[in-house]
Amino acid sequence: MEIPYIFTPRKDTGMCNSKIAIWLFLASEVMLFGGFFSSYVYLRLGADYPWPERALPVMPGLINTFVLIFSSVTVVFAWVSLKLRKWGMFQIYMAITVLCAAIFMGLKAIEYNVKFHHQAVRLSDYTILEGHLDHIEGITDKKGHEVEADVIHVKVNKLTFSTVRFHKPWVEEMIRQAEVNKATITLGSPLKIEGQEVPSGTALTVSLLNQIKKNHLASRSNNAEVRTEALRDAWVTEKAKVGNEGKQGWQMASNVNIDMDAIAGQLKVETSSIVFQVTPPTELWFPQRDIKEGATQSKLRDDTVIDGEMLESPVAFHNLDAIDFRYVVMKAEEKGIDPEKAIENTWLIKNNEEAREAWEWNKEQMVILQEELTKGYGLDKNGKPNREPTLTERYRIGWQDFAAKAEKVNKGHEAFNMKEQFMGPNYEHRAPAHTFPHLHIPRELVFLSGKFTPAWNTYYAIYFTMTFLHGLHVIGGAIVLSYYLFRGKKMYQTNPEWLANRVEVGGLFWHFVDLVWIFLFPILYLM
Amino acid sequence: MSAHAATADHSSHDHHDDHGHHHEPGFWSKYVFSTDHKMIGIQYGITAMLFLLFGFYLMMVMRWSIAYPHEPLPGWMDWVFTDNWKARWLQDGKVTGDTYNMFGAMHGTIMVFLGVVPLGFGAFGNYVTPLQIGAVDMAFPKLNMLSYWVYLLGGLIMIGSFFMESGSAKSGWTNYSPLAGFADGQIVNQWLAGQTQWLIGLVCLITSSLLGSVNFVTTIINLRARGMTWMRLPFFVWAMLVTGFLLLLAFPPLEAAGIMQLVDRVFHSSFFLPSGLFTKSDGLVQISGGGSPLLFQHLFWFLGHPEVYVLLLPAFACVAEIIPANTRRPMWGYKSMVYGVIVLGFLSFVVWAHHMYMTGMGPAISTWFQITTVLISIPSVVLLTALMISLWGGSIRFTPPMIWACAFIPMFGIGGLTGLPLAFNLADLHLHDTYYVIGHFHYVVAPGILFAFFGGVHHWYPKITGRYMSKTLNHLHFWPTLICMNTLFFPMLTQGMAGFHRRWYNGGDAYLAKALDSANVFGTTVREHIDLNILMSRSAWIMALFQIPFIVNLILSYVRGKKVESDNPWNATTLEWATPTPPGHGNFTFDVAVYRGPYEYSQPDSDKDYTPQWEKPKTDAPVIAEPAPVAHH
Amino acid sequence: MADSVEHIKKTARLYLLIGAVLFIFTGVTVAVAKIPMLDVGKHGFDTMDMILGLAIASFKASLVGYIFMHLNHEKKAIYWIFFGAIMFFGFMIFLFMFAKYDPIHFNGFQLGIPN
């Protein structure tokens, strides 16, 4: 059996199978990316926070655009070489294409990595702060690294685990931390498991919790069985009593009850939660995302209840490299308050000397910028300047601005090298000039804190999702093209047209990946 | 694609004589990892039917909770539960709200994504399409196999979520955010939460149908036999072509939405979660916010509405094959059906937000969607009417498939007509999310689409196995099913108009307490309507019982059924009946060429009452050697 | 498409040219976004910048589509498939926006969003 038209076009349609298939596939890709582009527009127009326009460093994206366009050219030439029956040239062009894919993904990885290590904090008064965190001295995670200053410290005296829900790695982490602090976590009150007494004071281990869980599930199953049977019996009795009155279930339900006294003997003790004492009460830390903190009682996401006083858990910036008041301004305008006044009233400006200095500096810079703009573009007929500083220029003090301030040049006139354009500020190099402020933020002021990940805002969410998906396409395309490069010899020897056909189809996909990036680059980097 | 294929410029038909050279494939490659479209079709069919059974079971449990919310689940239903599940998901043996939500969400998902679509498109489409166009196989057999396995993987992931600590997804089959963004939030490792696995399963299923639809469309465009021009394609193939395009273009936006919701759940982003979200357990939720729940609904229903036609068109396809073969007359209005199905496919992309009238859409946009929705009923009615008129003046043979097809027409008609009030904004405001909606679309899907598929199974079973299915068992299956379908779904329509909400897990206890004797427009009371629950639930269980004859029939006929007398037992005209029974690998044993349209029954110039597509014309008219160049597309 | 050797040799030059044009327009799109002198519309990012950016991107994309992907001499069926998809994408984004900008207004209705 032979499938026809694998590489010879069918006469009446003029196409071979793979050609039709790849275009159908691309059509569906149009709809897939179309879904994302539509979402981008929808989210951007509907954003109730200042959309971070032109937020990403352009240089990596620009280089990647060049790399991808270049690879698009080389893949066409790989196909041309095959058509001209030049196997050697094909190999060279295809190798360059695959290499371009590798460069693209490498740059992408660097870009991602910078964001994953860059901290952002939103205060409850809508001030947004960016930078790099301090490490807390003396507190290490299980790998021995010092923990970043964005954790919740609690002086724990009691832990109540949910028997079915406890998360094993978290329990292990608590045991480890208690050990480091020379404290013990022990069972609060004695307990019977499968007839055996577990005395109070038994040390917390995961296997103990597992035993308790197993025991609990067994009694729970038993009790459910007993209660179900009892309820069934109660219904039978009630129905017999009512007889043929034509009553429906909802009319009888109030009279049907489980006779708890009768089944009391058959029920076993359930332990849905289990209490452990921490002696002496000791300080444990928890990643802020896992915990819902309270002054005297906190709760972990796996339903573990932590009793104990919450200690000071500030977010501490080692290098604060951006202060962003745009959200403050937006909220102030919604309420009809003067934005500048709202900014002066923020916790940051009131409590931090360096921040206030930077804000004053930025205001001065705005005057200078306005003068420049007026000089360049003049006034309109109402005597208002034709061009004004943007919202971003007025209310965001970025790391470039901190650098300019330290270098004592005007905003927008600072100097960077290539590495800084890629990776953000070079902190060590800029440290002697005291470029970036140091800042401690009390926990109660923090509304949201995290790295520049999808969780930070919907812009980063759609940025990561779209570029990651695009990256997957690059990888997929590169795999297919490398297959032709390394395994194409046999196809070529059998029939050069066969391979040419395949390369054309693979190339079509590759061009499409390029085509998507042509749109991704401006909407994510330049708009 | 062997080496020698590369050297010759060949067409589809000069390779059939080398059948003998192929050595028999082993068990695994023949039955499990088969690349033969027929075997893949059968795999799809069996898997989909098993999923349908499971979905049916979930529904039976839900119906218990609706009819007898205060009584423990009876033993014949709860034996599937382990002891641990009984304790976790039932309260004193009664179905809890959580469990009901779980089963409801999974019932919808399984029936739509794992049952009906794979059965219609995957099973019937795979088996019949290449045969009807005279192709040796699908254009990409390996892709076809991959499509099945990815589907199975997606299905198993979804079913597997029942075994997770969180239980399965529980936010309805529509999976609306923000609810779906938070359900199972207590599970620390989100990859192990049922709600997340639903999304992973969904992405697998979409990938599978994407592979399938690329394959189908390519096959239909490029692998048609000589002389099989576009207007000679059986309606079945046309329906599959349009279904293929719907899957191809409507599914990806949902894939995008699924991926975004996955990111929301696993990486805590806020695509679909608005600012200032407040939940009962968490208070003000610590997320960035700024997203839009409506965006999810748009993306979902952009798929969701074409999806309805993905379910429906294969059913129409089956019925369109059964009716001409059993009325012994040409199909009425073949061309209008073809154009109708194309228009239907096109319009189905621009009607979606009639599912969203309640989301605060303004008058302009809802007018748009009302107009398009009413417009789309025109091609649907064209299709149904053409089928109905095809019965007129025919000499109808009430064979088992024909019985199902005959029942399909009125049952689907009820489903379609009850949809009209929902197309109008004003009526929909009252009926939205009530049992009326449930009744409407179940009339479309259960006695509509599934009846057509039962007919299809009976129609093609003789080709697949070489034996007929039993008539007696079919009657034992058909009549009780027909009656139960109506006693199950018709009361839903009136219940819905009386204001019964579709997501009440206890069938409306609280509503009853509020409005025990208040009469509605029919002069009936809530009390009378709540008692309908019992009738409906019993119908559902009785219907389950009467599916047993079908299962027995399906298995027993394979060994005991009456053998077919010829390769063309129904004396039908389309190409699948020109193959040996069952068709071997490569399908046809002769050089396939097509000389006429698909439904030439009772032609005056013929001595038989059917003229197959592959029969050479008697006249001396020149035989069409090559298909005419295709200008229209 | 015409597959003769001469034709392909001729088109090879075209491919180089298109590659160069794409490079140049990538530069242009960054330049109009970054260099204040070339800024169209108001100072900073605004609708004009968006239109210009998307116009350049669409131009580049159509060059890739027409020349590199051979849409300039492709079969009609492929046009239908590809532009059909683009049309449905158009419907999608148009109706999304339509729905977004045509909400029902409640007078005095306030969302209870805590600040």
Q: Does the pLDDT of residue B498 top 90, yes or no?
A: no
Question: What is the per-residue pLDDT for B535?
Answer: 95
Look-up of token digits 């649907």: B380
User: Is omega for the bond preceding B178 within 30 degrees of 0, making it cis?
Assistant: yes
Q: How many angstroms away from the CA of A191 is the closest CA of chain B?
A: 22
Give the pLDDT confidence of B217-268 residue by residue, as tens digits: 999 999 999 999 999 999 999 999 999 999 999 999 999 999 999 999 999 9
Give the pLDDT confidence of B346-370 residue by residue, as tens digits: 999 999 999 999 888 888 999 999 9
In sign, the C-alpha dihedral spanning A21, A23, A26, A30 is negative
Return residue ranges of chain A for CATH 1.20.120.80. 17-118+454-526
CB A113 within 8 A of CB A60: no
B75/C contact by beta carbon, under 8 A: no
Verify whether the Cβ–Cβ distance C104 to B360 is below 8 Å: yes
Q: Does the pLDDT of residue B583 top 70, yes or no?
A: yes
A239/B contact by beta carbon, under 8 A: no
DSSP labels, A241-260 = HHTTS---HHHHGGG----H
Between CA A461 and CA B280 the distance in angstroms is 26
Count chain A–chain C contacts defined by CB atoms under 8 A: 146
Which residues of chain A fall below pLDDT 50? Answer: none
Q: Which of A157, A361, A496, A519 is nearest to C64 (CA)?
A: A519
| Pairing of the two strands A315-324 and A439-441 | antiparallel
Q: Which of B407, B237, B217, B416 is nearest to B313 (CA)?
A: B237
Name the DSSP letter for residue A189.
S
Between CA B424 and CA B369 the distance in angstroms is 9
Question: What is the per-residue pLDDT for B632?
Answer: 45
Verify whether the Cβ–Cβ distance B365 to C92 is below 8 Å: no
Q: Which of A31, A36, A76 is nearest to C66 (CA)?
A: A76
Count chain A–chain B contacts defined by CB atoms under 8 A: 252
CB B594 within 8 A of CB B575: yes
Between CA B68 and CA B77 the distance in angstroms is 13
- Given phi > 0 = left and psi -120 to 50 = alpha, else beta, which region is B191? alpha
Verify whether the Cβ–Cβ distance C98 to B365 is below 8 Å: yes
Q: What is the end-to-end Cα distance of chain C in Å, rounded?
A: 63
DSSP element (H, E) containing C32: helix C5-34
Cβ within 8 Å of residue B348, ≥6 positions away: B246, B250, B305, B306, B308, B309, B376
Between CA A63 and CA A97 the distance in angstroms is 15
Phi then psi for residue A396, to 5 deg, are -120, 125
Cβ within 8 Å of residue B272, ≥6 positions away: B177, B178, B181, B260, B261, B264, B291, B292, B293, B295, B296
C54/A contact by beta carbon, under 8 A: yes
Tokens linked to A429? 């190099």
Instruction: List the beta bridge partners of residue A160.
Output: A275, A305
CB B587 within 8 A of CB B135: yes
Question: What is the per-residue pLDDT for B623?
Answer: 53
Residues of A (458-497) whose Cβ lies below 8 Å from B: 458, 460-462, 464-465, 469, 494-495, 497
Between CA A514 and CA A66 the distance in angstroms is 10
Q: How many angstroms away from the CA of C48 is the closest CA of chain B?
A: 25
The residue count of chain B comes to 633
Between CA B203 and CA B259 the distance in angstroms is 8
Q: Percentage of chain B surpassing pLDDT 90?
A: 79
Domains of chain B: 32-275+287-578 (1.20.210.10)
Three-state DSSP at A133 gives: strand
CB B265 within 8 A of CB B178: no
| Pairing of the two strands A273-287 and A184-187 | antiparallel
∠ CA B345-B204-B505, rounded to 5°: 80
CB B6 within 8 A of CB A490: no
Q: Which has the higher per-residue pLDDT, A38 or B283?
A: A38
ipTM above 0.90, yes or no: yes
- b/e string for B149-188 if b means 16 or more Cβ within 10 A? bbbbbbbebbbebbebebbbbbbbbbbbbbbbbbbbbbbb
Verify whether the Cβ–Cβ distance B70 to A256 is below 8 Å: yes
C113/B contact by beta carbon, under 8 A: yes
Verify whether the Cβ–Cβ distance B349 to C88 is below 8 Å: yes
DSSP element (H, E) containing B255: helix B235-267
Name the DSSP letter for residue B120.
I
Give the pLDDT confidence of C17-64 residue by residue, as tens digits: 999 999 999 999 999 998 888 888 888 888 899 999 999 999 999 999
Neighbours of chain A (3+ CB pairs under 8 A): B, C
Question: What is the per-residue pLDDT for B517?
Answer: 72
CB A122 within 8 A of CB A128: yes
Report the residue of A76, A89, A97 to disrupt the C interface, i.e. the one with the largest count of C CBs within 10 Å: A76
Tokens linked to B173? 């089959």
Between CA B566 and CA B38 the distance in angstroms is 20
Three-state DSSP at B361 gives: strand
CB A186 within 8 A of CB A201: yes
Instruction: List the beta bridge partners of residue B168.
Output: B194
DSSP element (H, E) containing A299: strand A297-300
Look-up of token digits 């035993």: A211
Most distant pair of Cα atoms in chain B: their distance: 84
Between CA B112 and CA B247 the distance in angstroms is 13
C80/A contact by beta carbon, under 8 A: no
Between CA B341 and CA B235 the distance in angstroms is 9
Give the pLDDT confidence of B549-561 residue by residue, as tens digits: 999 999 999 999 9
Q: For B311-323, what is the mean pLDDT? A: 97
Q: Which residues of chain C lie closer than 8 angstroms to B350, CB-CB? A: 91, 95
> B521 pLDDT band (50/70/90 cuts)?
low
Q: How many angstroms away from the CA of C96 is the closest CA of chain A?
A: 7
Q: Which residues of chain A lie closer than 8 angstroms to C18, CB-CB? A: 73
Name the DSSP letter for residue A431.
G
CATH topology of domain A17-118+454-526: Four Helix Bundle (Hemerythrin (Met), subunit A) (1.20.120)
Q: Note the pTM of the prediction, 2 decimals.
A: 0.93
Q: What is the dihedral of CA A490, A491, A494, A498, to 10 degrees?
A: -170
Residues of B (329-388) whose Cβ lies below 8 Å from C: 349-350, 353, 356, 360-365, 368
